Structure 1
Amino acid sequence: MTRIGQIRPEFVEFIPEKLEPGVLYVSRRYSTASHLCCCGCGMEVVTPLNPAKWGLTESNGTVSLNPSIGNWNFPCRSHYWISGNRVQWAAAMSAERIAAVKARDRRDVDTMVSRPERLFVRFVKAVATKIRGWFS
Protein backbone atom coordinates (compact mmCIF):
# COMPACT_ATOMS: atom_id res chain seq x y z
CA MET A 1 0.00 0.00 0.00
CA THR A 2 1.28 3.40 -0.97
CA ARG A 3 0.16 6.43 0.97
CA ILE A 4 -1.19 9.34 -1.03
CA GLY A 5 0.18 12.77 -0.18
CA GLN A 6 -1.77 14.90 -2.65
CA ILE A 7 -5.41 14.80 -3.72
CA ARG A 8 -7.11 16.37 -6.74
CA PRO A 9 -10.70 17.61 -6.48
CA GLU A 10 -13.17 16.63 -9.19
CA PHE A 11 -16.61 18.20 -9.06
CA VAL A 12 -19.33 15.84 -10.26
CA GLU A 13 -23.10 15.55 -10.07
CA PHE A 14 -22.97 11.84 -9.15
CA ILE A 15 -20.14 10.05 -7.38
CA PRO A 16 -18.75 7.54 -9.91
CA GLU A 17 -19.02 3.84 -9.22
CA LYS A 18 -15.27 3.31 -9.68
CA LEU A 19 -13.09 5.82 -7.85
CA GLU A 20 -9.52 6.68 -8.81
CA PRO A 21 -6.80 6.94 -6.17
CA GLY A 22 -5.84 10.52 -5.35
CA VAL A 23 -9.14 12.05 -6.49
CA LEU A 24 -11.68 13.67 -4.16
CA TYR A 25 -15.06 13.51 -5.91
CA VAL A 26 -17.38 16.28 -4.76
CA SER A 27 -21.11 16.34 -5.49
CA ARG A 28 -22.52 19.70 -4.52
CA ARG A 29 -25.99 18.54 -5.57
CA TYR A 30 -25.93 15.68 -3.06
CA SER A 31 -23.68 17.39 -0.47
CA THR A 32 -21.23 14.51 -0.49
CA ALA A 33 -17.54 13.99 -1.11
CA SER A 34 -15.94 10.57 -1.68
CA HIS A 35 -12.44 9.27 -2.23
CA LEU A 36 -10.38 6.12 -1.84
CA CYS A 37 -8.65 5.94 1.53
CA CYS A 38 -5.37 7.83 1.30
CA CYS A 39 -3.44 5.00 2.97
CA GLY A 40 -3.77 3.01 -0.25
CA CYS A 41 -5.98 0.23 1.18
CA GLY A 42 -8.61 0.86 -1.52
CA MET A 43 -11.57 1.37 0.82
CA GLU A 44 -14.11 4.02 -0.21
CA VAL A 45 -14.43 6.99 2.15
CA VAL A 46 -17.74 8.87 2.06
CA THR A 47 -17.91 12.26 3.76
CA PRO A 48 -21.38 13.84 4.01
CA LEU A 49 -21.06 17.61 3.71
CA ASN A 50 -23.19 19.26 6.39
CA PRO A 51 -22.55 21.20 9.60
CA ALA A 52 -22.76 18.06 11.76
CA LYS A 53 -20.30 16.04 9.65
CA TRP A 54 -17.72 17.58 7.28
CA GLY A 55 -17.24 20.97 5.75
CA LEU A 56 -15.59 21.55 2.39
CA THR A 57 -13.75 24.77 1.66
CA GLU A 58 -12.38 25.83 -1.71
CA SER A 59 -9.58 28.30 -2.26
CA ASN A 60 -7.61 29.02 -5.45
CA GLY A 61 -8.36 25.62 -6.99
CA THR A 62 -7.65 23.66 -3.80
CA VAL A 63 -10.02 21.99 -1.37
CA SER A 64 -9.93 21.20 2.32
CA LEU A 65 -12.16 18.91 4.38
CA ASN A 66 -12.74 19.55 8.06
CA PRO A 67 -12.63 17.92 10.52
CA SER A 68 -10.09 15.16 9.98
CA ILE A 69 -10.97 11.84 8.38
CA GLY A 70 -10.72 8.98 10.84
CA ASN A 71 -11.34 5.62 9.20
CA TRP A 72 -11.89 3.87 12.52
CA ASN A 73 -14.03 1.08 11.03
CA PHE A 74 -11.52 0.19 8.30
CA PRO A 75 -8.79 -2.39 8.90
CA CYS A 76 -6.18 0.34 8.22
CA ARG A 77 -7.67 2.71 10.88
CA SER A 78 -6.02 5.60 9.03
CA HIS A 79 -6.41 9.17 10.23
CA TYR A 80 -5.62 12.25 8.17
CA TRP A 81 -6.68 15.73 7.10
CA ILE A 82 -7.17 16.98 3.57
CA SER A 83 -5.98 20.57 3.55
CA GLY A 84 -5.25 22.56 0.41
CA ASN A 85 -5.26 19.34 -1.67
CA ARG A 86 -2.55 17.89 0.58
CA VAL A 87 -2.99 14.86 2.80
CA GLN A 88 -1.63 15.49 6.27
CA TRP A 89 -1.25 12.33 8.33
CA ALA A 90 -2.22 12.18 11.98
CA ALA A 91 -0.96 9.90 14.70
CA ALA A 92 -2.89 6.76 15.59
CA MET A 93 -5.57 7.19 18.25
CA SER A 94 -6.36 4.94 21.19
CA ALA A 95 -9.63 3.01 21.33
CA GLU A 96 -10.77 5.28 24.19
CA ARG A 97 -10.06 8.45 22.19
CA ILE A 98 -11.86 7.01 19.13
CA ALA A 99 -14.90 6.20 21.32
CA ALA A 100 -14.91 9.79 22.64
CA VAL A 101 -14.75 11.22 19.10
CA LYS A 102 -17.59 8.95 17.95
CA ALA A 103 -19.71 10.03 20.95
CA ARG A 104 -19.08 13.70 20.16
CA ASP A 105 -20.00 13.08 16.50
CA ARG A 106 -23.29 11.44 17.57
CA ARG A 107 -24.08 14.44 19.80
CA ASP A 108 -23.35 16.82 16.92
CA VAL A 109 -25.73 14.90 14.64
CA ASP A 110 -28.44 14.76 17.33
CA THR A 111 -28.15 18.51 17.86
CA MET A 112 -28.30 19.19 14.13
CA VAL A 113 -31.38 17.00 13.66
CA SER A 114 -33.25 18.26 16.70
CA ARG A 115 -32.66 22.00 16.06
CA PRO A 116 -35.18 22.27 13.17
CA GLU A 117 -37.69 20.26 15.21
CA ARG A 118 -37.32 22.67 18.14
CA LEU A 119 -37.84 25.64 15.83
CA PHE A 120 -40.98 24.04 14.39
CA VAL A 121 -42.37 23.32 17.86
CA ARG A 122 -41.78 26.95 18.90
CA PHE A 123 -43.50 28.13 15.73
CA VAL A 124 -46.55 25.89 16.35
CA LYS A 125 -46.79 27.05 19.98
CA ALA A 126 -46.63 30.71 18.90
CA VAL A 127 -49.37 30.17 16.31
CA ALA A 128 -51.52 28.27 18.83
CA THR A 129 -51.10 31.10 21.37
CA LYS A 130 -52.11 33.66 18.73
CA ILE A 131 -55.18 31.62 17.74
CA ARG A 132 -56.22 31.18 21.41
CA GLY A 133 -55.90 34.96 21.77
CA TRP A 134 -58.32 35.52 18.91
CA PHE A 135 -60.97 33.37 20.57
CA SER A 136 -60.53 34.71 24.10
Structure 2
Amino acid sequence: MRQTSLVPEFVVTVPEKLEPGKLYVSTRFRTASHLCACGCGNKVVTPLKPAKWHLTVENGLVSLSPSIGSWQLPCKSHYWITKNKVVWSRVFSEDEIKEVLERDAKDLHDYYADRQASRAKRKILARLWAWLRHK
Protein backbone atom coordinates (compact mmCIF):
# COMPACT_ATOMS: atom_id res chain seq x y z
CA MET A 1 0.00 0.00 0.00
CA ARG A 2 1.33 3.44 -0.96
CA GLN A 3 2.46 5.49 2.04
CA THR A 4 1.39 9.07 2.64
CA SER A 5 3.52 9.54 5.76
CA LEU A 6 6.44 7.97 7.59
CA VAL A 7 6.76 8.00 11.38
CA PRO A 8 10.35 8.48 12.56
CA GLU A 9 11.83 5.96 14.94
CA PHE A 10 15.27 6.82 16.30
CA VAL A 11 17.34 3.67 16.77
CA VAL A 12 20.97 2.75 17.38
CA THR A 13 20.88 0.07 14.70
CA VAL A 14 18.26 -0.44 12.03
CA PRO A 15 16.20 -3.58 12.68
CA GLU A 16 16.57 -6.49 10.29
CA LYS A 17 12.84 -6.45 9.50
CA LEU A 18 11.43 -3.01 8.69
CA GLU A 19 7.80 -2.06 9.21
CA PRO A 20 5.85 -0.14 6.57
CA GLY A 21 5.23 3.49 7.44
CA LYS A 22 8.31 3.86 9.65
CA LEU A 23 11.50 5.81 9.00
CA TYR A 24 14.31 4.32 11.07
CA VAL A 25 16.99 6.90 11.86
CA SER A 26 20.37 5.83 13.24
CA THR A 27 22.44 8.88 14.14
CA ARG A 28 25.26 6.60 15.28
CA PHE A 29 25.56 5.01 11.83
CA ARG A 30 24.31 8.13 10.00
CA THR A 31 21.57 6.41 8.03
CA ALA A 32 17.83 6.65 7.58
CA SER A 33 16.08 3.50 6.35
CA HIS A 34 12.54 2.65 5.39
CA LEU A 35 10.50 0.41 3.15
CA CYS A 36 9.87 2.09 -0.20
CA ALA A 37 6.85 4.36 0.13
CA CYS A 38 5.22 2.88 -2.98
CA GLY A 39 4.49 -0.31 -1.06
CA CYS A 40 6.75 -2.60 -3.12
CA GLY A 41 8.47 -3.79 0.07
CA ASN A 42 12.02 -2.95 -0.96
CA LYS A 43 14.37 -1.47 1.63
CA VAL A 44 15.59 2.09 0.99
CA VAL A 45 18.74 3.25 2.82
CA THR A 46 19.76 6.90 2.73
CA PRO A 47 23.26 7.69 4.06
CA LEU A 48 23.17 10.89 6.12
CA LYS A 49 26.30 12.57 4.80
CA PRO A 50 26.96 16.02 3.33
CA ALA A 51 27.27 14.65 -0.21
CA LYS A 52 24.25 12.38 0.16
CA TRP A 53 21.13 13.12 2.27
CA HIS A 54 20.48 15.62 5.03
CA LEU A 55 18.02 14.96 7.86
CA THR A 56 16.19 17.81 9.57
CA VAL A 57 14.20 17.33 12.78
CA GLU A 58 11.72 20.02 13.85
CA ASN A 59 9.30 19.42 16.72
CA GLY A 60 9.51 15.66 16.19
CA LEU A 61 8.86 15.96 12.44
CA VAL A 62 11.59 14.77 10.08
CA SER A 63 12.50 15.82 6.58
CA LEU A 64 15.06 14.28 4.23
CA SER A 65 16.64 16.09 1.35
CA PRO A 66 17.20 15.72 -1.48
CA SER A 67 14.36 13.55 -2.78
CA ILE A 68 14.34 9.76 -2.68
CA GLY A 69 14.81 8.41 -6.19
CA SER A 70 14.51 4.62 -6.04
CA TRP A 71 15.70 4.29 -9.61
CA GLN A 72 17.61 1.04 -9.09
CA LEU A 73 14.38 -0.59 -7.88
CA PRO A 74 11.78 -1.93 -10.32
CA CYS A 75 9.19 0.58 -9.01
CA LYS A 76 11.43 3.61 -9.81
CA SER A 77 9.58 5.58 -7.10
CA HIS A 78 10.45 9.24 -6.62
CA TYR A 79 9.30 11.20 -3.57
CA TRP A 80 10.26 13.63 -0.84
CA ILE A 81 9.97 13.08 2.90
CA THR A 82 8.90 16.43 4.31
CA LYS A 83 7.78 16.82 7.93
CA ASN A 84 6.89 13.10 8.10
CA LYS A 85 4.79 13.35 4.92
CA VAL A 86 5.57 11.51 1.69
CA VAL A 87 5.29 14.01 -1.14
CA TRP A 88 5.23 12.20 -4.45
CA SER A 89 7.20 13.58 -7.35
CA ARG A 90 6.70 13.01 -11.04
CA VAL A 91 8.14 9.94 -12.77
CA PHE A 92 11.52 10.56 -14.39
CA SER A 93 12.44 9.30 -17.84
CA GLU A 94 15.43 6.95 -18.25
CA ASP A 95 17.47 9.88 -19.65
CA GLU A 96 16.59 12.06 -16.65
CA ILE A 97 17.49 9.25 -14.26
CA LYS A 98 20.85 8.77 -16.00
CA GLU A 99 21.51 12.52 -15.82
CA VAL A 100 20.69 12.66 -12.09
CA LEU A 101 22.87 9.63 -11.31
CA GLU A 102 25.78 11.14 -13.25
CA ARG A 103 25.36 14.47 -11.45
CA ASP A 104 25.21 12.70 -8.06
CA ALA A 105 28.41 10.78 -8.86
CA LYS A 106 30.15 14.02 -9.88
CA ASP A 107 28.94 15.81 -6.72
CA LEU A 108 30.22 12.94 -4.58
CA HIS A 109 33.58 12.94 -6.36
CA ASP A 110 33.90 16.73 -6.01
CA TYR A 111 32.97 16.60 -2.32
CA TYR A 112 35.67 14.06 -1.48
CA ALA A 113 38.24 15.80 -3.70
CA ASP A 114 37.56 19.08 -1.84
CA ARG A 115 37.92 17.31 1.52
CA GLN A 116 41.21 15.76 0.44
CA ALA A 117 42.53 19.14 -0.75
CA SER A 118 41.47 20.76 2.54
CA ARG A 119 43.27 18.05 4.52
CA ALA A 120 46.42 18.56 2.45
CA LYS A 121 46.28 22.34 3.05
CA ARG A 122 45.84 21.84 6.81
CA LYS A 123 48.79 19.46 6.89
CA ILE A 124 51.02 21.95 5.04
CA LEU A 125 49.92 24.79 7.33
CA ALA A 126 50.59 22.67 10.42
CA ARG A 127 54.11 21.88 9.18
CA LEU A 128 54.72 25.55 8.40
CA TRP A 129 53.44 26.59 11.83
CA ALA A 130 55.64 23.99 13.55
CA TRP A 131 58.64 25.17 11.53
CA LEU A 132 57.97 28.84 12.39
CA ARG A 133 57.62 28.06 16.12
CA HIS A 134 60.99 26.34 16.18
CA LYS A 135 62.87 29.21 14.51
- Give the structure-1-normalised TM-score: 0.90
State which drifts further: 114-123 or 38-47: 114-123
Change (3 A) 1:131 1:60: closer
- Give the structure-2-normalised TM-score: 0.91
Unaligned runs of 5+ in 2: none
State which drifts further: 107-116 or 6-15: 107-116
Does the residue aligned with 1:77 lie in a helix, a strand or coil? coil
Identity between Structure 1 and Structure 2 (%): 48
Deviation above 4 Å: which 4+ runs of structure 1? 127-134
Does the residue aligned with 1:16 lie in a helix, a strand or coil? coil
Partner residue of 1:74?
73
Change (3 A) 1:42 1:129: same
Change (3 A) 1:131 1:56: closer
**1:14 matches 2:7:** no
Does the residue aligned with 2:34 lie in a helix, a strand or coil? strand
Match of 2:93, as an amino acid? S
Q: Deviations over 1:3-41 (max 9, x none)?
A: 010110000000000000000000001110000000000
Deviation at 1:77, TM superposition (A): 0.4
Partner residue of 1:91?
90
Aligned residues: 135
Deviation at 1:44, TM superposition (A): 0.1
Q: Deviations over 1:59-100 (max 9, x none)?
A: 111101000000001000000001011101111001111111
Q: How far apart, in 1, do the equivalents of 2:69 and 2:62 lie?
A: 18
RMSD: 1.9
Match of 1:30, as an amino acid? F
